[in-house]
Structure 1
Amino acid sequence: MPLTDTQIRSLKPESRPYKRADANGLYIEVRPTGAKLWRYKYGFMGKDNRIALGLYPEVSLAEARRLRDDARRKLRDGIDPLAERKRDKLVAQYRAANTFGDIAKEYIDKSVADGRADATTVKANWLLDQLKPIAAMPVADLKPVEVLAALKKIEARGKYETARRARSFASRVFRYAVATGRGESDPTAVLRGALIAPRVTHHAALLEPEAVGAFLRTIDGYTGNAITRLGCQIAPHVMARPGEMRKALWPEIDFEHAVWSIPAERMKMRRPHAVPLSRQVIAYLKQLHELTGPEGFVFPAFHTSRRPMSENTLNQAFRRMGYSRVRLKT
């Protein structure tokens, strides 16, 4: 016989859980604590499942029957109500992580999984730190004026280029939020032109042959550390970024074919790169090989061979030579 409210109210707790059936798979489970939990038992794809429908009396008898009937309709449509509930819960949790900071961290994690360079990841985390004023705000609620206010705080410190980069980073995060169903638009799109344009600083360049010759002769006469001198001598010939060069490994150098093969993970564009080596560079590398080869880093740190040369070593050497405005770009 189907249950009645009077019968349910009269059910008393016992030392072990027990249940009383209603109809069509609906039953109520009485716990030793006195709690009364509605459950619906059903079969799907040859397996028995149970789904909780709520606590009595918060969920009344009539409401429990309605929820059971809803579940039965889903079963007729070939839908497992328990699997659907789990899926809805995961979607709700996913959508709950909807602050700008949450989505930005997720976007950065995705970039790491996509194989982006470590330096790119570090810069992204740094830019996120610059955008702290909006990090805790729901991304769908952020308005252009609120993003602009955060960017203007960066500008107020005189960091015009940082503000520009932060706007670009925020735009990528907003577009990712839209793509994953947690945002409606990119509010930074209307901020183009709202920030102070940074002044372009042109770094010194050696353009005249005589000046280039004098520069190379100065390097040849450098009296500091031999490894540093050889690094300075090689740098103008290979045109590699300092991060690529200082982390070079001896197995990457092919003396026979005069090629330096840089793996994809050290390249900014994440593609392997082959650098042809001139006879001058080969000569410098042979000198280096006697100092730091045959394994490990071509340009090791001064204090340990297990780490590469510091990123500022060559630039500092150029400054000591009198070329204070010459700088190798990272």
Structure 2
Amino acid sequence: MPKRIQPLTDMKIRAAKPKDKEFKLSDGLGLHLLVTPSGGKLWRLQYRFAGKQKLLSFGAYPTVSLTDARKRRDDAKELLEQGTDPGEVKKAKAAAVAAAASNTFKAIAEDWYAGLKEDWSESHAVHVRRWLDQRIYPVIGDRPISSLETVELVQILKAVASSSLETGHRIKTIFHQVFRHATFTGKLKHNPATDFKGAIKPKNPKGMAAPVEPKDVAPMLRAFEGFRGSYVVQCALKLAPLLFCRPGELRQMEWAEVDLDAAIWSIPGEKMKMGLPHLVPLSTQALSILKDIRVLTGHGQYVFPSARSFTRCMSENAVNAALRRMGFEKDEITGHGFRAMARTMIREQLHVEAEFIEIQLAHKTKAPNGTAYDRVAFLKERRQMMQNWSDYLDQLKAGAKIVRFEARATM
């Protein structure tokens, strides 16, 4: 007959003293307490599965009580009767917990922050850190990012905006970028931060500084040609007025999105402010700049990589910093100001229909049937517009007598 094992008691467990070597106190049915030389008392379950001897850990006494350890043993035995390895079940649960921890809003936001902070100014990094730690993490930091809904994010924005509208808009930008990072890294399928329109009041309108007179634009374009800083930044400076996209779209341009043969840049919807894919026709001048920089950056992901690493795109401050170094003040031109410059001058100098300009600016206009515009809408006309605009800027840069373009039947 097998030796009968006397079940453990709390008194017996507490009385067990460590020895020079670890030893076991058996409770029966494979459960025992391992007493280590350092005084640790660890629950273990010995069992067989698929012909192999295995060991399962339940934790340490007294955190895991005798009653709890027996309950876990019984649960494990039930799994074995069902043909399931309790050790594999435990590993799967641990993996799920680890995955959940890596998918919290805080974990993903920290990954986003770490990837960008070196490209930010020190003051901006400090501000973002404070907004995350004080305004966002206490509310949703530990939540799985996939569980967050738009209504919850809007509640946070409204609470912050009630005391500081400017901070509310800053946090709105953080939400946009963190949730977009989550979709890029496969942590999230549905992005709840794509449309916050009307969630909080708009900021006090401030026109984006930009020259709109030919006499002011010409010297700026010539200054770009003579820029003595980074060649990557110079190419971005030269492309910015030609393409007049949003600064974030330009600096995140990827070679995979650019078709030099078809002369088109296809921006995916997740990179666009309105969430819609967008097409940017490339003039011969834009193509020339891209072909030149391809020699330097064409082997990497980004057209305009960071100066520190080709695995990240150019800093959000790079273009504005270059403008300041060349002597252009904030009230003269900003990276975003090229959009206002193009919008005004293409309309006034080239007499292009406003609808074509608005579509190329990726503003969310509405078609007559009430649907958002198609990305290929008026593509032929927009391609001609972009070429005429580039030709016009070349004339300004060269200092030639400027002749206004007459309205064209095709446009």
What is the aligned residue count?
275
Read off the aligned partner of 1:277 and give its amino acid letter: T
Q: Aligned pair in 2 of structure 1 residues 99, 33: CA closer, same or farther (>3 Å)?
A: same
Aligned to 2:53: 48
Which piece of structure 1 moves more, 195-204 or 56-65?
A: 56-65
Task: Classify the secondary structure of the residue corresponding to 2:93.
Answer: helix
Q: CA deviation at 1:204?
A: 6.8
What percentage of aligned pairs have identical amino acids? 23
Aligned to 1:311: 319
Deviation per residue, 1:98-157 (Å, 9 max, x gap): 986445335x379x7xxxxx89xxx999656435433341526989766533333432xx
Give the alignment partner of residue 152 of structure 1, picking from 162, 169, 174: 162
Q: Aligned pair in 2 of structure 1 residues 200, 69: CA closer, same or farther (>3 Å)?
A: same
TM superposition score normalised by structure 2: 0.45
Q: Distance in 2 between matches of 1:83 and 1:148?
A: 46
User: Does structure 2 conserve the Cα–Cα contact (< 8 Å) formed by 1:99 and 1:137?
Assistant: no
Aligned to 2:131: 130
User: Does structure 1 conserve the Cα–Cα contact (< 8 Å) formed by 2:35 and 2:41?
Assistant: yes
User: Does structure 1 conserve the Cα–Cα contact (< 8 Å) formed by 2:20 and 2:37?
Assistant: yes
User: How does 1:84-103 map onto structure 2 within 5 Å?
Assistant: 84-92=89-97, 101-102=106-107
Q: Which protein is bigger by CA-based radius of gyration?
A: 1
Q: Distance in 2 between matches of 1:262 and 1:131?
A: 34
Q: Aligned pair in 2 of structure 1 residues 53, 5: CA closer, same or farther (>3 Å)?
A: same
Read off the aligned partner of 1:45 and give its amino acid letter: A
Q: Which runs of 5+ in 1 are unaligned?
A: 113-117, 301-306
User: Does structure 2 conserve the Cα–Cα contact (< 8 Å) formed by 1:98 and 1:138?
Assistant: no
Q: CA deviation at 1:81?
A: 2.0
Task: Classify the secondary structure of the residue corresponding to 2:34.
Answer: strand
User: Does structure 2 conserve the Cα–Cα contact (< 8 Å) formed by 1:242 and 1:329?
Assistant: no
Read off the aligned partner of 1:76 and give its amino acid letter: E
Q: Aligned pair in 2 of structure 1 residues 35, 19: CA closer, same or farther (>3 Å)?
A: same
Aligned to 1:324: 332
Read off the aligned partner of 2:162 and give its amino acid letter: K
Q: CA deviation at 1:234?
A: 7.3
Q: Which has the higher contact order (CA 8 A, sep 6+)?
A: 2
User: Does structure 1 conserve the Cα–Cα contact (< 8 Å) formed by 2:46 and 2:53?
Assistant: yes
Q: CA deviation at 1:16?
A: 1.5
Q: CA deviation at 1:74?
A: 1.2
Q: Distance in 2 between matches of 1:34 and 1:217?
A: 81
Q: Which runs of 5+ in 2 are unaligned?
A: 229-233, 298-303, 305-313, 341-411
Q: Distance in 2 between matches of 1:143 and 1:268?
A: 20
Task: Classify the secondary structure of the residue corresponding to 1:328.
Answer: helix
Q: Distance in 2 between matches of 1:97 and 1:226?
A: 46
Read off the aligned partner of 1:151 and give its amino acid letter: A
Give the alignment partner of residue 206 of structure 2, picking from 198, 201, 206: 201
User: How does 1:256-267 map onto structure 2 within 5 Å?
Assistant: none
Task: Classify the secondary structure of the residue corresponding to 1:82.
Answer: helix
Q: Distance in 2 between matches of 1:18 and 1:143?
A: 55
Q: CA deviation at 1:49?
A: 1.7
Q: Aligned pair in 2 of structure 1 residues 54, 219: CA closer, same or farther (>3 Å)?
A: closer
Q: CA deviation at 1:41?
A: 0.6
User: Does structure 2 conserve the Cα–Cα contact (< 8 Å) formed by 1:124 and 1:169?
Assistant: no
Q: Distance in 1 between matches of 2:241 and 2:40?
A: 78
Q: CA deviation at 1:19?
A: 2.6
TM superposition score normalised by structure 1: 0.53
Q: Distance in 2 between matches of 1:72 and 1:317?
A: 75
Which piece of structure 1 moves more, 191-200 or 14-23?
A: 191-200
Q: CA deviation at 1:33?
A: 4.1
